[in-house]
Amino acid sequence: MDTPYRVSLCSTCDRAITRDPAFSPKTQKPNLNSSLAPSSPGLSPSQILGQAELQAREFKKELLQLKITKLKLKQQQRALVAFIDQQRGRVSPIRRLSDELLVMILLDVCRGFDFRFPIRETPPNLAVSQVCRRWRSLVRGHDKFWCYMIVVDVLGVLESTSIDVGEDDDERRIVVEYDERDVVAYEKLLLLEVTRTWSHLVCFDLLLREEHLKSFGGVIAILAREYNRWHCCTLSPDALRAFDGHFLGINESRKPARLEKVTIMADDPPEFPLDGITMFKNAPVLNGWRQLVDNMNSIPALPCWHLTHLATESSWITLAHARTLLTACPALVELNVSLTVPEGTPFPERTPISLPRLRNLELKADNLYIIYYMFWVLTAPRLGSLRLHMGHLEDYRVWLWPLDILDRFLERSGCTIRNFALVDMPIVAFNGSGTYQVLERFSKLKTLEANEIGPGRPEDVLKEVAVQRRTATDYRGAGEWICLPMPMGPRQ
């Protein structure tokens, strides 16, 4: 193997001298080995010395030239550093941010936007993606930019405008007209939305009437394809039936594996029953159902065994149907129901209903005996908040409230009521000291609420209640409501 070193022999002492050609001068100098070979005749020692001195002077010149070149390179380096600092000062600060910080800022800019129909302005995620290539790549690379609440509320597409009428401002609401172009544009953006967020859940509101289903068929189809990504939704009865019948009913094996909360909302009562809807019966994690339908109607097939929140606030259901439903929902934590007994229908049997996890109960009844019935059959050991509504009842007859049934309920449940509310039920209607006797059952009551007090000032009536309990207290008013915080502790 060849060595990179050369060996030169000095003719005067025959000593071997090694030289590395990598550190040789740029110009080729005479090789001492060829010009000063010991076997070369005719060269005197003085000649050899002269050649060596000449070569040393040439090396010195080249070394000086290298020093000058090094100095020039250092000057150029300092000039480049100064130029970089100057140009960096001219660049916008946001361009100097890292990708992680820039993504956080852009997400905050896009926050609070609802993907609401009709979209008359460019959505913020699309707007920021059109600024430059870097922003475009960041927005397209992070699906959080596309996670918006999808809202299609044709019935509520309204716009507010202020019109000066003399010295007063008259706020009027006018309907914003839309056409097929708005629907087509929304479909395109919606398809892009659900495509970009393929790894995220879908939350949407779809409030349509039957006459809107044909125009919004493409929107329904896009959302139906993402059925397994649904997380929470608010539907009108017509939209619910469209999903159940036209898109989801054909494949019963599809399950909303991530769906947790559903709200059914309608201003007008539907012309068809809801108990035929089956698209939610196999939802494995559905825990919240809210039904806001202004009529007595049934509830769709639900996975009742793991429901924790059930509300039928403005949807009246029969007491018999509610008893069957509550018996199948042992995991309820919050319950808000509106119960009725149709005229001529007998009360159901007093079958016990146990809700061991129930904490908040809001009960609306059009018959005082429904409240009696619920106290008779219900057992709720963790109940802490009780709100009672009396709807469509002209003769309150609250003085007929049997205290023995209430005592049995409290003794059987062993619960501690801390919040008690009477809605549309005058507390002064309790005969004699009935008001105080009911409150004495709630020895650890903290808050009493009422919106109808009866004759006299509401504050005086509630203050009288506090005096009868012999507790120091305070009260505050909120519109027509009176809320009375009451310290813990029984009457002394």
Compute mean pLDDT per 10 residues along the chain, 492 residues long, and list them: 47 47 48 45 79 88 92 92 82 83 91 84 87 89 84 68 42 58 91 84 90 90 90 92 73 77 87 83 91 79 91 86 92 94 88 95 88 93 90 53 84 91 62 60 78 53 53 39 50 40
Cβ pair 299, 275 in contact under 8 A: yes
Whole-angstrom distance, CA of residue 59 vs CA of residue 134: 54
Give pLDDT, residue 329.
94
Give pLDDT, residue 199.
79
Whole-angstrom distance, CA of residue 172 vs CA of residue 169: 9
How much is the pTM? 0.69
Collect contacts of 174-182 with beta carbons under 8 A, ≥24 apart. 176/118, 178/117, 178/118, 178/154, 180/215, 182/117, 182/118, 182/119
| Residue 79 in domain | yes
Domain that residue 78 falls in: 6-87
| Residue 271 in domain | no
Give pLDDT, residue 33.
46
- CA triple 203-207-212, angle to 5 deg: 125
| Residue 460 in domain | no
Structure tokens belonging to residue 291? 């039904």
H or E stretch at 186:
helix 180-196
Q: Is the peptide bond before 4 cis (omega within 30 degrees of 0)?
A: no
Report the SS3 class of residue 190. Answer: helix
How far does CA 429 lie from the centroid of its chain?
45
Closest by Cα among 406, 403, 491 to 465: 491
- Cross-strand pairs, 404: none
Whole-angstrom distance, CA of residue 449 vs CA of residue 462: 9
Report the SS3 class of residue 384. Answer: coil
Structural domains counted in the chain: 1
* Residue 465 identity: V
| Residue 150 in domain | no
| Residue 451 in domain | no
Closest by Cα among 255, 308, 312 to 279: 255
Whole-angstrom distance, CA of residue 219 vs CA of residue 206: 9
Whole-angstrom distance, CA of residue 466 vs CA of residue 485: 10
Give pLDDT, residue 401.
65
| Residue 126 in domain | no
Give pLDDT, residue 120.
80
